[in-house]
Structures are given as C-alpha cells and as structure tokens.
Amino acid sequence: MNASDDDREDGPTQDHGEADRTVIVSGFGTQGAPVAPERAAAHNVLPPGTRLGEFEIVGLIGEGGFGIVYLAFDTSLDRHVALKEYMPSALAARVGTTQVQVRSARYESTFRAGLKSFINDEARLLARFDHQSLVKVYRFWEANGTAYMVMPYYKGVTLRDALKSMQKPPDEAWLRALLTPLVDALAVLHAANCFHRDVAPDNIILLEESHRPVLLDFGAARRVIGDMTQALTVILKPGYAPIEQYAEVPSLRQGPWTDHYALAALVYFAIVGRTPPPSVGRMVKDSYQPLAKLAAGRYSDRFLKAIDHALAVQPANRPQTDRQFAAELGIALDEDAASAGKHGATAAPRRGIGWISGAACGLTAAAALGFFVPKLLSHAPSAAVDRAAKIASAPVPAVAAPASASSAVIAAASEAQAAPALAPFTPADEFARIVSLADPSIVVKAEVPQPRAVIGHDRLRFSITSNRDGYVYVFVVDPANQYLQLFPNELDEDNRIGANKRLVLPRPAWPMQAGEPAGANNFIAIVSSAPRDFATLDMTHDSVFASLSPEGQHAAAARRTLTASPFAGVPSCGSAAPSCPVAFGAAAFKIDVVHSSR
C-alpha cells in the first residue's frame, strides 16, 4: 500500500536526492539487537502458488522491514489484487510454509502492538473510506500468527518519477488538478480525526490511464514499533515533515496543518526541484525562500502565497482547516467530504440483486402497458467452468521484485515499455475501468442502504449524488450476464441531477424486487456534464429497459481503447450547442441477491 517507506530504499532524485528519503533517527542499542531487516526479509517471502484463503500468491511486488506486498489472484472474484502481509522482519520470522513466529519472547509485546496497529490503525481505518484518491482496502484478517490486507492492484507511476521525467516544472493548472483530489482526500481523513503524516511524491501514484492521484497508506505499524523500541524514534522525510513530527511537544500538536505542510512541500519541490529546508533547522535559523519570490511571474501570486502560508514553521501560522487551505489555493472541496469522513460513507459500496422489475402496479400492470419485463435466464453458466476459463485466459502481470518497494501496490509504467494490452472483458472489470477513466473533479457517490437483498422479499434501492449538475446514467449486469440500461428508461426519462442533491432509484413508478438468479449484480452510475449517447452499443429498445446481449457486449468490448470505453458513451449536445463538455464522473457498486437473510 504505502508505497510505504518502511518498504523502500529510494535512490537520488533531481537535485535533492535525499530529501524525500525516510530518515530513521536513533537505533537499537547493542544489547539484544534484532536481526537486521535487510538480511531477514528475503527469507520471509511467500512463494508463488501459496494460498491465503481465496487469494493465491502470484509474485512479489515489494518487501521491507515491516511488511511484504505480493501480487495475488482473487480466485473468488477473478481479479488481481495487492496483498500486504504484516512481517516486521527484525522481530519475527517465517516458520514452515505460512506461519509467522516472534523471534524471541522479549519482542512479543512489540510485535503484538505492531500487529494491532496494522489491523486497527491501517487496514481497518482505510477500509472505512472509499475516496477515489485514497488507497482502498477490500478486506483484512488475522491468520498464521500475523495479519493481511487486500487492496487494488494499481498501475501507474509515482508522482516522484512523474516529476523527474518532466523537462520543466509543471504549470499551475497541472498542480491544481493534482491538488484538488488530494486535498479533498485529506479532508475526508481529517474529518474522521485521522492524519496521514507521510505525504510525499513517492507516496502518491498517478494511475496509468486516468492520471488520477492516489494517496497511499499510513505505515502505522512501523510507527508503533518504533515508539516502543525507541529504535525508530523519528521516521520522517526531512524536507516534507513539519516541526511537530519531530517530537511530542504539547504546544506543537499535530492536525490537518501537519499534512498541509507536507503537501505544500511537495508543490515546492515540483516547482523548485528541491524541498524546503528541514523544518527542525528552520526553528534555529529560517533559510526558507518564499515561492512568491522564487517563482513570481510563472504562477499566480495567490497560489504561491497559499503554498508559502502552508509552509510556515509554526503550526499555528498555517491554514488550520482543509476548507481554509483549499480556499487559499483557489480549489473547491467536495461539500460532502466532511460528513463522509465522520460517518465512514463510501463512494462506491463494494458489497453487492438478481432482481425482478415492474411498474408501480407490479408485473401485470407493466405487461398491460405493453412494456417487456426482462426475463431472467433459467440458469447461469457453470461457475466453476466460467472461473477456470477466466483464470486460464487472464494475463499475469510481470512481478519481478523491484530493488525497492516504492511500488508496493503499483506496477510502475515505464515510458520505454510497450502500451499494455487491455485485460479480457468482463462487465464488472469494465465498470471499474470506466471509474478510473472518469474526471476526478466530478465526484459521484453511490450509497446502498441494503447491500444484500432477499429474493422475493426485498426491493432494490440505492441513491446517487454528484458534486456537480449533470445527467445520470445507470447500467446493471445481473448474475445471468443480462446487461441493461436501468436509468433513464421508457418509464422515467428525466435523468437530470443537481449538485449535491440526492437522487434515489429506482423511483416509485418502477420498483424492482430481488429475484432469481442469486448472485452479485454489478452497477455503474455515470454523471455527465452533458447528455450522453450510447448508440454505439446498439442496445435493444423493446422493453422498459434497453438491453445489450452478451454478443453485443463483446462486440462493444472489441472497440475499447486504453483511454476510452464505448460502455461510457459519448457526449451529445446537439448541433445548436457551440461546444459540448466531455467530462463525466462515475461510481461502480454491487448488490448481492440471496435466497435467505441468514
């Protein structure tokens, strides 16, 4: 996850090679020093083919002193994921195939404290949030004397590498586009009284296709272990860490302003090519050169002064809230960010309604109106055969272990590499890809009050919100691979949505009840700045809901490109419009249909 610093051995970068390296202050005493992590870690890696529940290890992504990250295959959902194992190699070792055992009784309490932090302060915390610019945790569990967490397998480059590849500093528009989702993601964390405390260019990934920034994890376990052993008294990056991270001083408490400092230092680095002077040195003699002078004329005065303000040495002299920081930068936060953080709201619920559809009067009334009620197939393809075929055809990404684990949950894309081929088509994977192609400034959220629906008993319900006005399009694929345009439809054509207004679907005029077959139903909600045209899908319009046959799905899939999907449609404003906005946002979600509530 982090492309975390406990897992890295970063090399130099630009003119300031050491500035974004993690510094470990202090060390183990000579009495009872644990085994050196770099010597121990290599012996702890699980071999390919190892099974951990439904996950099969494919290869190594990265390893370090506190954890190992693997590429794994989720055999239940037919997808590749990143699986992180808690493994503080200085304190514990592999025993047998998968078991982890503490090296000595004297390390037991430290190991357990780190394990607890790995679960509660890292995995459980990240699993609460579902923001497009925060790394997502699908699930986590304890087993084999240790703990694991499963995350998306992100493909992209770190911001650090992206900046190194640029011939000149990025312009203000580029930086604003980078900062908008990051400040919004931090606002979600801060609203839940959580602080990242490790924002830096090598801890942010720019996704391969959408270039959307994703802020990686917290490295909570390493901090707890460091506190207990006094071996890692301070784990930080000198150029990015504010003074309050160097010591526990009541007058220098940490808060949102702590992450603001690091984010502003990141911008400083992008513009100047080096980080600001270390904050601990600035307390003695402040040699900081304001951006308002260094970069005057190349960026707006307002933008530069906002960065300088966030880089004040004293915490009280920086912006105190995310809203204040965003306002000074001239960017807009999602209005729901605070409430999402407080309540752990999710933008794309991942649990997931074979279902029965009808108008308000039921199936008979719908038929009487001349509308076709979609028939569900009497049987779905054999799950075992289907899964085996997918596994056999799924490409396995190369996983040669990097020299460092700065790519702990990413496969870094090199400009020298050939363009990657699209993965084999499945509607669920394509829905997820559409989300990655969406404009991150259009924040779409889908909420499902009842993620499990009992056949013949429960009704399908969900709601959509967007931070911008637009037009809503909802598609669903049921367990029998029936692909439908759920909204708008022949009964309900008004698909407009207002900014920050909740749209509850299905509406009373066309309720939907859970029906056979049981299984997961995959949905995607698209909110577009302009109406969208899905004519290229060649859907059949002889029912309430337009439908697309399996053959039609695969025909459309053949027209996919790395940067576009026919399943996302194209903007359509009519010939009278002088220009047509192309931007859209999206959220994917699932609802499970079951035979019993048990």
- Provide the token pair at 179: 């900062």
Residue 157: which H helix or E strand, with range?
A: strand 154-158
pLDDT attached to residue 8: 36
Identity (one letter) of the amino acid at 152? P
What is the C-alpha to C-alpha distance for residues 177 and 302, in angstroms, rounded to an integer? Answer: 16
Q: Which domains does the chain have, with CATH numbers?
A: 5-343 (1.10.510.10), 355-394+423-594 (2.60.40.2550)
Residue (of 18, 69, 31, 134) closest to 404 by Cα position: 69
Which two three-digit tokens encode residue 95?
Answer: 């025993």
Contact 521, 349 (CB under 8 A): no
More confident residue, 268 or 118: 268
Amino acid at 281: G
Tell me: cis bond preceding 488? Omega within 30 of 0 counts. yes
Which DSSP string do the residues of 547-595 spell out, in sequence order?
EE-HHHHHHHHTT-BTTB-GGG-EE---TT-S-----EEEEEEEEEEES
288 vs 413, residue with greater confidence: 288
- Residue type present at position 199: V
What single DSSP character describes residue 269?
Answer: H
Other residues' Cβ atoms within 10 Å of the Cβ of residue 290? 16
Residue 509 in tokens: 């005029």
Q: To which H or E segment does residue 25 belong?
A: strand 23-25
Strand partners, 123: none
pLDDT per residue over 291-325, tens digit each? 999 999 999 999 999 999 999 999 999 999 999 99
Q: What is the pLDDT of residue 413?
A: 33
**Mean pLDDT lowest among 201-210, 334-343, 394-403, 465-474:** 394-403
Residue type, position 502, single letter: R
Higher pLDDT, 337 or 502: 502
DSSP string, 512-526: EEE-SSPEEEEEEEE
Q: Quick one: pLDDT at residue 352?
A: 32
Tally of residues, the chain: 598
CA distances from 207 to 246, 280, 388, 513 (A): 32, 34, 29, 38
Q: Provide φ and ψ at 442, rounded to 5°.
A: -100, 100
The pLDDT of residue 488 is 95
Q: Are 505 and 464 in contact (CB under 8 A)?
A: yes
Residues 98-128 pLDDT 10s: 999 998 888 888 888 888 888 877 788 778 7
Cα separation of 69 and 175, whole Å? 30
Give per-residue pLDDT as tens, 90-99: 888 898 889 9
**What would the pLDDT profile of 350-391 be if each residue is shown by its tens digit?**
323 344 444 333 222 222 222 222 322 222 333 333 333 333
Quickly list H helices, 379-426: 383-393
Parallel, antiparallel or unpaired: strands 532-533 and 570-571? antiparallel
For residues 532 and 569, the answer to whether their CB atoms sit within 8 Å is yes
